Amino acid sequence: MRVSQSNFNLYEEFFQSELGKKFVNLLMVNGKKNMAKKILLICLFLIKSSEKNDPIIILKNAIDNVTPGVDVRTIIIKRTKFQIPIPLKEKKRISMGIKWIIESSKKKKKKSSYLFKIYKKKNNY
């Protein structure tokens, strides 16, 4: 699929948002931000072709479903280890959710994983 400038303009608002920038930066490999934008844009178009809803809403719902609420920290008190759940801040939650989505799409290697298929083609993975 060829990506033109008009296709970028269609989702420009998403790419300028904090969530879009975070997703592109975490998807980027070897400093190739434009390649990461193209990969995400193609994924959005593939989602749009297979689903009836807006792909950005689907992506946001996927991130919300994956994000963790708490992190478990180990604290040592008098030579005894206790694992205590600590709530995460919103930025950390979103960052971890996006990382988990990208990692799982790389690991799956199935036809249903849009991110992996495009990542594989673009980066000769």
5-123 placed in CATH 1.10.510.10: no
Q: What is the pLDDT of residue 56?
A: 86
Q: What is the pLDDT of residue 32?
A: 85
Q: How far apart are CA 123 and CA 29, in angstroms?
A: 9
Q: What is the pLDDT of residue 125?
A: 46
pLDDT in tens, the chain (125 residues): 555 556 667 778 888 888 889 988 988 888 888 888 888 888 888 788 877 888 888 888 888 888 999 999 999 999 999 999 999 999 999 999 999 988 887 776 655 555 655 555 555 54
Domain range annotation of the chain? 5-123
Q: How far apart are CA 68 and CA 49, in angstroms?
A: 29
For residue 75, count CB atoms less than 10 angstroms from its CB and return exposed for 0-12, middle for 13-18, buried for 19 or more. exposed
What predicted TM-score, i.e. pTM, was given to this entire model? 0.74
Distances (CA, A) of 50 to 2, 25, 43, 47, 112: 18, 26, 11, 5, 11
User: What b/e readout covers 88-106, taking b as 16+ CB neighbours within 10 angstroms?
Assistant: beeeebbbbbbeebbeebe
